[in-house]
Amino acid sequence: MNAFTPAELAQFDRDGFLIARGLVARSSCEAMKSVARRHLSANIEPLEYESQVRYPGAPASFDAPGGRTVRRLLQAYARDELYRHWATCPEIVGRLSGLLGPELRLSQAHHNCIMTKNPAFSSATGWHQDIRYWSFEETQLVSAWFALGPEHEENGCLWLVPGSHLMELRPEQYDGDLFFRADVLPNSSVLEAKQPAELDEGDVLFFHSRLLHAAGRNHTDLTKFAAVFTYHAAENRPLPGSRSGSLPEIDLTA
Ligand SMILES: O=C(O)CCC(=O)C(=O)O
């Protein structure tokens, strides 16, 4: 069944995320990673480098140590049929319809990438809510994070604060780059509830665009790969003239 149960939908409403275990077959994960490795070795643009992410501790320039390490293969939807297939397949769209309604759109402007976390160099991602960087009429968007291999603390998995998508957070709780400050009260007590999103190959994490999340560095010998796509209801339109509205949306209405 390509749908969340009523209990799972209630869990998403409460926690702001859900993990669908084993949704993608191992062979498909391996095929998606092969495409990513091919695009990495051929340097197929558009790419985002560690020196461009502006995360705390990221290299300041291309020529700084780690500066030329690829962090994201951007525009995944346009890169390969395999990515298009998984971004729009019934297993994903059916579940998203329960969260966002039947008239779905995939945003090509946000996420829509293969996240790569390189063992030789990777910066940590600070606490943030994706919606603070995006411009839509409403804050109701959901991202699907496909683990293309195991994700755990050692290789830099995501950390989540359950229920934070429902919190009213004030502008002064963020720094100038819109990261949620971890070092000040009351933020530090909000972050006490954090938990790692440990995933196995083929698991898909669905999370709300207001959910506070962060991620660590990769301390293992293997690159970590994840495919990530963002969705919203057709009626929740990107604001004209914003980055969110800068690329055509993909209509997934059944
Ligand atoms: O670096 C990571 O693994 C997390 C990235 C992330 O949270 C984001 O792009 O919103």
* C-alpha 212 – ligand 1 centre gap (Å): 11
Calculate helix-pair angle for 81-88, 26-41, nearest 10 degrees: 140
In this prediction, residue 254 carries a pLDDT of 63
Digitized pLDDT (tens) for each residue of the chain, 254 residues in all:
899 999 999 999 999 999 999 999 999 999 999 999 999 999 999 999 999 988 877 888 999 988 889 999 999 999 999 999 999 999 999 999 999 999 999 999 999 999 999 988 888 999 999 999 999 999 999 999 999 999 999 999 999 999 999 999 999 999 999 999 998 999 999 999 999 999 999 999 999 999 999 999 999 999 999 999 999 999 999 999 999 999 999 999 86
Calculate helix-pair angle for 81-88, 90-100, nearest 10 degrees: 40
In this prediction, residue 58 carries a pLDDT of 85
> Which atom of ligand 1 lies closest to the CA of 156?
3
0.85 exceeded by the pTM?
Answer: yes
* C-alpha 111 – ligand 1 centre gap (Å): 9
* C-alpha 233 – ligand 1 centre gap (Å): 23
Ligand 1, residues at Cβ distance < 6 Å: 115, 117, 125, 130, 156, 158, 213, 215
Output the residue whose Cα is nearest ligand 1's atom 7: 214
Cα 140 from Cα 137, distance rounded (Å): 9
One-letter amino acid for residue 9 of the chain: L
In this prediction, residue 65 carries a pLDDT of 86
> Which atom of ligand 1 lies closest to the CA of 224?
3
| Pair of tokens at residue 208 | 């709300």
* Cα–Cα distance list, 173 to 11, 79, 88, 170, 198 (Å): 27, 37, 36, 6, 27
Could you report the per-residue pLDDT of 139-192, keeping only the tens digit for each? 999 999 999 999 999 999 999 999 999 999 999 999 999 999 998 999 999 999
> Which atom of ligand 1 lies closest to the CA of 55?
1
Best residue among 110, 118, 125 to mutate for probing ligand 1, ranked by most atoms within 8 Å of CB: 125
Best residue among 158, 165, 180, 198 to mutate for probing ligand 1, ranked by most atoms within 8 Å of CB: 158
Q: Which of 54, 71, 150, 144 is nearest to 106 (CA)?
A: 144
Best residue among 213, 218, 224 to mutate for probing ligand 1, ranked by most atoms within 8 Å of CB: 213
